[in-house]
Amino acid sequence: MILVAYLEVFIMSTRSLFPLFGIISTCLELTSGWRQCRNQPGDPGFPTQEQWDQLNSQVGGRLISVVPSAKFCHDLPSGSCTEAEWISTTFRSTIPGAMDNYNWEQDYSSNPPSICLQNGTTCGQGNVPIFAVNASSISDIQAGVNFARTHNLKLSVKASGHDFLGRSTAKGSLMLWTHYFRNITFDDDFVVGNNSVGNTMTVGSGVPLNMMYQSAKAQGKMVCAGFASTVVASGGYIQGGGHSAFSPALGLAVDNVVQFEIVTADGKLLTANEDEHSDLFWALRGGGAGSWGVIISTTFKTFPAFNATALTTIYLSTSLNSTLSVVEAHTNHSSDWDALRAGQYFYIYPTYPGVPGTVISISTLFPNATNETASAAMAPLLTDLNALNVTQVYLNSETALASDIVTTADDQLGANNLLGSRLIPTSVYENNVQGVVDTYKALIESGVQGILSHFVAGGKVAENKDLDVSVNSKWRNAKSHLIAATTYPDNTTVSEVEDIKDTMTNKWVPLLAKLTGESDSGAYSNEADAREPNFQVTFFGDNYKKLLATKNKYDPNGLFIVTAGVGSEGWNAEGLCRAN
């Protein structure tokens, strides 16, 4: 063992000089356990307290202990968080160990399970990191990356914790927390290489959408991004592709990115754009959250500020047949607002707390449209719906600056949520109305709690099909991003949680996949099933081979491994040990 340890040190120090030593080193790594698995607390290679103290000194005292959100609340002077705080994504974003969907904080698979719940009497660390670097500078990020690489640690990266696949947290990991990277700059003539790309906005990887929109508004600008208040545009959102209510008019978020600053696995700060590290720039625009490094900032194209009209209506249905009649009418009218490049959220909740019936919500956002224009576009659908056996309980139309319409002060999550999804082609809505209805029927009858259809494709998204980005090409032929959603209470047993996950993967998602009519159907990787069995094809399509090559170039040792991320098939489910 002493000889092996000596050889490892010697070979690592001379690897770059003698290629043969690299081959020998690889063989040693395959037979030496310390290279096969990331070091966890209790392992011989896990950093000592002295080494953690050294990192803390290096990052200016900003190394902090991390606990699950329930433990954080329990440790407050009041002894708990209020319910309003618990479900507030704004509040949760200030807690390093908190995930908005806190089921990802739990470790259901350990024996015994390590769980920490809001009103529980015991609290395990679960899948929450041990320490976090509360980064305030690029050097803090670099120090954290280098420390994790040197000590063979699992690394996690969190901006806001909004991730629906749990990729912002990891058991026994060192977290790099970018919450306070909130620099915002504007440029009227941003240059990449020798070419001007025009007006841009550069945001740090801690800037939430509500701050981003209002900063753009102050400059008379608008950006293409999402709806949720605390989502960070310069984080997992953009790496997954980024859809928006204004995507039919402006394209996907990745279609409008011109540059990244990123710290890669070797601890270097790189600029990635069409001129520098263009392969990494390509991968970051849709190649999946958490797989490429730690984004420091992202530069987006901006657009002149414009008005928009948001028209929202809510119906109640008291029978399955009535609900399905709404689905049929909606499908028949789903192209009515295409010419206006409107985006729409069509949501059905078969069971909604405190409501006697199925809730059906339709929110449509019309860019550059008056209230009269929007109302006229929606009138055919609403006329048909009002003739059905459903009750309209809400109707509202608002015209304002687009940035104000999509700015929200807070969102409510703080729950155990699971999603599964597919990108549904335009041809399905045009040629298979009955198939859409049958899919909704099967989902509702099998107990799904929410069916969320985001009509955020078509228009400019389809027109941008020739852009050289890594986002799944299924977006370019899609009409909607269709989600099956479910939640469960804290008193759900571990075996029941597993049954729910199994239902999502093996019943609900296959129903969505069947509806696409494609054997290689695609999904939006940011809002999908974390257990997609063929995620390489489903999330990344034909781009996976090139993405994997890029991953191996910039992160050859898999420092950034996340659930269903590029290269994760080479690791176990927790991303802690190499599969073979």
Same-domain pairing of 236 and 321: no
Same-domain pairing of 347 and 421: yes
Which residues in 306-431 belong to E strands, given as ranges? 307-317, 343-349, 358-367, 391-401, 417-425
Peptide bond into 112 cis (omega under 30): yes
Same-domain pairing of 313 and 454: yes
Same-domain pairing of 55 and 199: yes
**Domain containing 566 — which CATH number?**
3.30.465.10
pLDDT digits (tens, 9 = 90+) for 534-578: 999 999 999 999 999 999 999 999 999 999 999 999 999 999 999
What CA–CA distance (Å, rounded) separates 162 from 166?
8
The closest of 237, 255, 256, 75 to 163, measured between CA atoms, is: 237
Same-domain pairing of 172 and 263: yes
Q: How many CB atoms lie within 10 A of CB 319?
A: 12
**Domain containing 460 — which CATH number?**
3.40.462.20
What CA–CA distance (Å, rounded) separates 566 from 551?
7
Q: The tokens 């206006």 sit on which residue?
A: 340
DSSP string across 226-239 = -S-TT-BIIIIIHH
What CA–CA distance (Å, rounded) separates 404 from 353?
29
Same-domain pairing of 190 and 234: yes
What CA–CA distance (Å, rounded) separates 53 from 42?
17
What CA–CA distance (Å, rounded) separates 433 from 331?
6
Q: How many CB atoms lie within 10 A of CB 383?
A: 11
Amino acid at the residue 265: A
Same-domain pairing of 503 and 545: no
Same-domain pairing of 481 and 408: yes
Same-domain pairing of 288 and 140: yes
- Cβ neighbors of 417 (< 8 A, separation 6 or more) are 101, 103, 164, 485, 486, 487
Q: Give me the tens of pLDDT residue by residue for the chain, a chain 580 residues long.
A: 333 333 233 223 333 332 333 333 333 333 334 459 999 999 999 999 999 999 999 999 999 999 999 999 999 999 999 999 999 999 999 999 999 999 999 999 999 999 999 988 899 999 999 999 999 999 999 999 999 999 999 999 999 999 999 999 999 999 999 999 999 999 999 999 999 999 999 999 999 999 999 999 999 999 999 999 999 999 999 999 999 999 999 999 999 999 999 999 999 999 999 999 999 999 999 999 999 999 999 999 999 999 999 999 999 999 999 999 999 999 999 999 999 999 999 999 999 889 999 999 999 999 999 999 999 999 999 999 999 999 999 999 999 999 999 999 999 999 999 999 999 999 999 999 999 999 999 999 999 999 999 999 999 999 999 999 999 999 999 999 999 999 999 999 999 999 999 999 999 999 999 999 999 999 999 999 999 999 999 999 999 999 999 999 999 999 999 999 999 999 999 999 998 7
pLDDT digits (tens, 9 = 90+) for 146-202: 999 999 999 999 999 999 999 999 999 999 999 999 999 999 999 999 999 999 999
Q: Which two tokens stand for residue 438?
A: 């049958």
Same-domain pairing of 162 and 220: yes
495 is in which domain, residue-wise?
308-533
Domains held by the chain: number: 3
Q: Which two tokens stand for residue 328?
A: 């049929």
Cβ-count burial of 445 within 10 angstroms (0-12 exposed, 13-18 middle, 19+ buried)?
Answer: exposed
Same-domain pairing of 471 and 546: no
Same-domain pairing of 529 and 550: no
Q: Domain boundary residue among 518, 533, 548?
A: 533
